[in-house]
């Protein structure tokens, strides 16, 4: 993907990686999926649980000046950090950022070409169902899961909704830590990324 190099997804501020605690390879892969999700579409994306704002920044770059990204998080600190990172990379102009809790905060948002969901916990099924009605036919949904149960729930719900092209990728990252006798590899939390295409026809 040429967009990865052009937007320098893997050169973003360390705060993105450190806050996620997944490491650069994960950021690269998730960003790649997001870019695939919005590429070639009209340019509206929803970022549910924006966290540190890394993907919000990338989505804003991808949709361009004529597009719009709607991002929210229930954590005020996450919203503040996302705002700071949007300003740092000059992408705040086409992003609507707010504090909100899913799935309720999704209801007032417009229909979109792509939806990114960061986690979801016990509310994941309701979040996916609500996002489904906000996602345009043939739009892409991308869900990241730290817990195996989250990934399982996501796959099950997407299948029940008739989604196609379901892709599941698990990524594990280990970073070296210097010790007295050498280098010890410290494993980060693995993440599973689930992406799929909304079926054509029906609402919205």
Stated pTM of the model:
0.81
- Rounded to whole angstroms, the Cα distance separating 78 from 54 reads 11
CATH number of the domain that 169 lies in?
Answer: 3.40.50.150
**Mean pLDDT confidence for 108-133:** 90
Q: Which of 27-31, 49-53, 67-71, 131-135 has the lowest mean pLDDT?
A: 27-31
**Distance from C-alpha of 31 to C-alpha of 23, rounded to nearest angstrom:** 13
Structural domain contains residue 202: no
pLDDT tops 80 at residue 4: no
Residue 173 structure tokens? 């990252």
Report yes or no on 50 lying in a domain.
yes
For residues 179 and 25, which has the higher predicted lDDT (pLDDT)?
179
User: How would you classify the pairing of strands 44-48 and 112-118?
Assistant: parallel
Q: Identify the band that residue 21 occupies on the pLDDT scale cut at 50, 70 and 90.
A: very low
Alpha carbon distance 134, 137 (integer Å): 10
Nearest to 86 by CA among 1, 13, 37, 3: 13
Determine, yes or no, domain membership for 25: yes
- Which is it for strands 95-99 and 68-73: parallel, antiparallel or unpaired? parallel
- Say if 156 falls within a structural domain: yes
Residue 17 resides in a domain = yes
How many structural domains does the chain have?
Answer: 1
Q: For residues 79-91, give the mean pLDDT.
A: 89
Q: Which domain holds residue 167?
A: 2-197
Q: Considering the domain boundaries, does residue 203 fall inside one?
A: no
Calculate the average pLDDT of the chain: 81
Question: How confident is the model at residue 37, as a pLDDT?
Answer: 61
Residue range 67-77: mean pLDDT, rounded: 92
In a domain, 155, yes or no: yes
Q: Has residue 105 got a pLDDT over 90?
A: yes
Q: Is the pLDDT of residue 15 over 50?
A: no
Q: Which residues contact 130 (CB under 8 A, 6 or more apart)?
A: 102, 103, 106, 107
Residue 35, in any domain of the structure: yes
Give the C-alpha separation, 189 to 131, whole Å: 26
CA separation for the pair 56, 49 (Å, rounded)? 10
């Amino acid at each position: 993907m040429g967009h990865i190099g052009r937007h320098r997804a893997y050169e973003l501020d360390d705060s993105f990686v450190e806050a996620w605690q997944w490491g650069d390879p994960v950021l690269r892969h998730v960003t790649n999926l997001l870019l695939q999700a919005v590429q070639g579409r009209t340019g509206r994306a929803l970022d549910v649980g924006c966290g540190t704002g890394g993907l919000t920044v990338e989505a804003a770059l991808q949709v361009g000046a004529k597009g719009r990204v709607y991002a929210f998080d229930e954590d005020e600190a996450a919203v503040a950090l996302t705002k700071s990172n949007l300003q740092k990379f000059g992408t705040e102009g086409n992003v609507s950022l707010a504090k909100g809790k899913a799935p309720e905060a999704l209801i007032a948002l417009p229909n979109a070409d792509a939806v990114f969901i960061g986690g979801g916990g016990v509310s994941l099924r309701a979040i996916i169902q609500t996002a489904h009605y906000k996602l345009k036919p043939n739009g892409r949904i991308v869900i990241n899961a730290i817990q195996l149960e989250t990934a399982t729930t996501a796959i099950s719900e997407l299948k029940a909704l008739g989604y196609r092209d379901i892709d599941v990728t698990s990524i594990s990252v280990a970073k070296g830590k210097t010790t007295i006798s050498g280098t010890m590899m410290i494993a980060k939390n693995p993440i599973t990324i689930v992406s799929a295409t909304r079926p054509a026809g029906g609402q919205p």
